[in-house]
Amino acid sequence: MALVTDFVGGFKYNTQYVTGDVDRDRDSDLIEVWQDGGVFKSTSWINNGQGLFNNAVVTDFVGGFRDNTQYVTGDVDRDRDSDLIEVWQDGGVFKSTSWINNGQGLFNNAVVTNFVGGFKYNTQYVTGDVDRDRDSDLIEVWQDGGVFKSTSWINNGQGLFNNAVVTDFVGGFRDNTQYVTGDVNRDGYGDLIEVWQDGGVFKSTSWINNGQGLFNNAVVTDFVGGFRDNTQYVTGDVNRDGAADLIEVWQDGGVFKSTSWINNGQGLFNNAVVTNFVGGFRDNTQYVTGDVNRDGYGDLIEVWQNGGVYSSTSWISNGQGLFV
């Protein structure tokens, strides 16, 4: 059953939404990062345990405003609550700030890393525990000529990313390639998943982690959806088998539909479960994932514009990848 929250922020074009368990209660909360003049602020929308986000915790500063700042989440200090990581441009480089959670969704302590990559327009940042030490590491995917490379920036356990592991090839360069993370082979390490266009279809490559942040083994799935410009991909364990599945959200006329591409336990996504409606089509809708009702299944969260505000819909997994 879908649960709608009528207000999860005022409408702004550059608002970003991410998820994490900010209060250690084992359900995913929704984090809004929004511009207020020359700064970014955050609102942790606390989950009531069923997918309704009706309690707000505001942090007045989580970074200076820049157009290309990226926000991701992860537990950077091993205290079991999710922290907010800002990646921002400073001249010719990217820097990161780990905004440490106080355990209630307030991000009021900053740990800065002065270099997490050279500046490039199409660089993507994601998080995952690449060395199985229970803290989240930062993964940079960047273009080098005709290829994408990755750098796993290893966390020191306090949110500082000062050790780099480079993989020289994680895909050929394409403008619309998307990268996500998840443990695709149940070994406890975060793997890197590339979703890329090949003519009229999307394909995926699961880049398997060697346990140290090097992604040097590839598992290719030849079809994970037909090509559309506005398709979004996210990950989650939709069937509670311990392996991350790939979720495609795609436009079909005036609606969004989803396909849960079920992982075979080795990074191959060859079984599809389609949900025929996960929201009405809007250009600026964002989809994220998390377990909103503490049942161990990955649910799908839609954040959508409703006039001058953002509303959210928690689409609950039925345990097989169907969102009801």
Identify the helix (H) or strand (E) that includes residue 322: none
- Provide DSSP, 155-189: E-SSS-EEEEEEES-S-B--TT-EEEEE-SSSSSS
Residue with tokens 């074009």: 13
Structure tokens at 44: 């942790």
Q: What is the pTM (predicted TM-score) of this model?
A: 0.98
pLDDT digits (tens, 9 = 90+) for 128-149: 999 999 999 999 999 999 999 9
Q: Write down the pLDDT at residue 199.
A: 97
Q: Write down the pLDDT at residue 180.
A: 99
Q: Write down the pLDDT at residue 1.
A: 84
Domain annotation for the chain: domains and CATH numbers = 3-315 (2.120.10.10)
Structure tokens at 183: 């443990």
Provide the 10 A C-beta neighbour count for residue 8: 23
How far apart CA 176 and CA 192 sit, in angstroms, is 16
Q: Write down the pLDDT at residue 62.
A: 99
* CA distances, 35 to each of 14, 93, 146, 196 (Å): 7, 22, 34, 31
How far apart CA 10 and CA 87 sit, in angstroms, is 23
Q: Write down the pLDDT at residue 23.
A: 98
How far apart CA 238 and CA 253 sit, in angstroms, is 26
Helix (H, G, I), strand (E, B) or coil at 235: strand
Q: Say if residues 18 and 33 touch (Cβ distance below 8 Å).
A: yes
Comparing CA positions, the residue from 81, 70, 89 lying closest to residue 107 is 81
Under-50 pLDDT residues of the chain? none
pLDDT digits (tens, 9 = 90+) for 241-259: 999 999 999 999 999 999 9
Measure the N-to-C terminal CA separation of the chain; round to a whole number of Å.
5
